[in-house]
Homo-oligomer: A and B are copies of this chain.
Amino acid sequence: MRLRDLQRSDRAALETILRATNVFQDHEIAIALELIDADRSLGYCFFVAEVEGRVAGYACYGETPCTEGTWDLYWIAVDPAQHGHGIGQKLMRAVDEAVAARGGRQVIIETASKPAYEPTRAFYLKYGCQEVARVPDFYARGDDKVIYARKLS
C-alpha cells in the first residue's frame, strides 16, 4: 500500500468507495465530492491510499478556520473490500504527521451517534481519539454530534 496526493482521476473510484461503505447518505456523499472537486486554494488536503495500483481509500483534512493549531479530519473512507488491512489507521497516521509538520496541535473529528456509525466511532477510539464533546440531537432527533480530538505531541 502507498499513500499519495489526490488526483483528479481519483474522483470516480472515491465515489464508488463512499457508496460501498454503506454508511454515508446521498447528501453526505455530495458534500464529500464537493470537497474532492473544490479548488485546492480553499485548503482541503488529501491522502489517497492505493493498493496494487487501485484506489483503496482516502482522507480529507484541513486547517480549521479561526483557530490556532486545530485541524479537522473531514472525511475518511476505506473500500470495504480492503477493510482489516490497517489502511484507515495508516491514513489517520499520515494526517497526524502532516498536521504536526505544519504546526498543528490537534485533529478534531466530528461524527454521528447513530448506530450506523458505531464501527466508525469504535475505529476512532481504538486509534486513540478522545471523545471531548457531544451536541445532543444535532444531526436529527436522537442523533447527536460526537466530537473527538486527537492531541499531537
Contacts and interface: CB of A to CB of B under 8 A. Distances in A.
Number of identical protomers: 2
A27 B64 CA distance: 12
Interface residues of A, number: 25
A71 to B, nearest CB: 11
Nearest to A147: B135
A137 interface: yes
Interface in A98-146: 105-106, 108, 132-141
A67 interface: yes
Contacts of A97: none
A138 B70 contact: yes
A132 B132 contact: no
A136 B141 contact: no
B31 A66 contact: yes
A84 interface: no
Contacts of A69: 140-141
Given A133-B147, A147-B133, A139 B67 contact: yes
A15 interface: no
A105 B137 contact: yes
